[in-house]
Amino acid sequence: MTACDQQSSASAPEKNELSDVTLRVAQTGWSSIEEELKAAGLDNTPYKIDYSVFQGGNLQLEAMAGGHIDFSLSSEIPPIFANLSEGNGNFKVVAVQEGNTLNQEVVVPKNSSIKTVADLKGKRVAYVKNTTAHYFLLKLLKEAGLEWKDIKPVELSTSDGLTALLGGNVDAFASYGVSIISAHEKGAKTIASGKDILSGNFLITVPPKLLEDKNKKAALVDLLDRLQKAHKWTRENPEQWAKVVATNTHQPVSQALTTLKEGEEQRPSIITPITTQQIKSEQDVADTFYSESLLKEKIDVKKFWIKVLNSDLEKIVSK
C-alpha cells in the first residue's frame, strides 16, 4: 500500500481535546472562508482558527513552505510551481473543492482598441505568475495562434496589475477574483475568459506534519465538514450570502447574486475525496507548462497528492 492510499486507523479525539489546537487558514482575496462559516452559523469550532488573506494561492503556498499556514485553497497551478521550491514546498494535497471558474479573465481599459486575444501581439500584458491567470493566458494565446514570446508579459500581483492597467502602464491584464470585479467597476472590458479552460478543481493543501498530529488532523476534517455544510447553506440562501460577498468585495448586491447563481449553475461548490481524474487534470496542466518551457523540469504531480483523508471525505460527501 502506498502513502497515497493509506488510511488512518487512529481513533478520533474528543472535541475537548481540540481546544488547544489552532489551524492557520489562508484565504484568497478576502475573508471568504471566515465569512461563509460565520454567515452559515458554523463558526463555533472547538478549536481556534487564525485566518489570513493572500492575493493568490501562489503566495499561500510560499507561506506554507515557510511554515506560516496550515491550510491553503488554491487552483491546480500554484502547487506545481511550489513543488520546485526548497523541501518540495512542504505541502500535500489532501482534498479538492470543486467550484466555478467565473471572474477568470483577460481585461483591457474601457477605451482600448484591443478587441481579441490576437490583438495582444506585441502588447504589454500583465498577469499573475504561477496562478490560473498564467495558465489560461497561455492557453488563450495558443488558441489565437500566438506564443508566449509574441506578447510582452509583465509579472505583477493582482493589486499591482489592476493599478498598472488603470494607469495605462500595461495594455491588458489577466487575473481573477476581486481584481477582475474591481476592473469592471472601473470600466474595464473583457476580451477573453478562462472559464472554459480551467478545470474548477481547487486543491486543499496542508503541511505533511499536520497529518501526523491526531488532534490537528481531526480539526482539519471538522473544518472540511463545516465548509461542505456552509457551501450548502450558501446555495440555499443566495440572497443573504450575496450581501456578504458584495460588502466584502465592493460590488453591487445584484451583481454578486448573479455571479453566485451563475457560478453554482456552472459548477457547485463541493468538497470531494481525491480521484485519479483530478490528479490527471493537474498533470495535464503541468505538462502544458513544461511543453512551453515555463517549467524547468517535468513534474510528476501525484507525488504530492495523498488520499489519507479520503475515508473521512467520503463520509462528509454522503451526509
| pLDDT tens column, 248-257 | 999 999 999 9
User: Which numeric CATH code is attached to 104-193?
Assistant: 3.40.190.10
State in Å, rounded, how far the first CA of the chain is from the last one.
28
- Rounded to whole angstroms, the Cα distance separating 255 from 181 reads 10
Question: pLDDT tens, 125-149?
Answer: 999 999 999 999 999 999 999 999 9
* Per-residue pLDDT at 2: 40
What integer pLDDT is reported at residue 5 of this predicted model?
Answer: 43
CA dist 71 and 207 (Å) reads 8
- Say whether pLDDT at 207 is over 60: yes
Mean pLDDT of the chain: 94
Rg, C-alpha atoms of the chain: 20
pLDDT for 9 equals 35
3-state SS assignment for residue 124: strand
**Contact call for residues 190 and 104 (beta carbons, < 8 A):** no
Helix, strand, coil content of the chain in percent (nearest 5)? 45, 20, 35
- For CATH 3.40.190.10, the residue range(s) in the chain are 15-99+200-318, 104-193
Q: Are 26 and 72 in contact (CB under 8 A)?
A: yes
In tens, the pLDDT along 86-127 reads 889 999 999 999 999 999 999 999 999 999 999 999 999 999
**pTM for this prediction:** 0.89
* The CATH fold of domain 15-99+200-318: D-Maltodextrin-Binding Protein; domain 2 (3.40.190)
The per-residue pLDDT for 176 is: 95
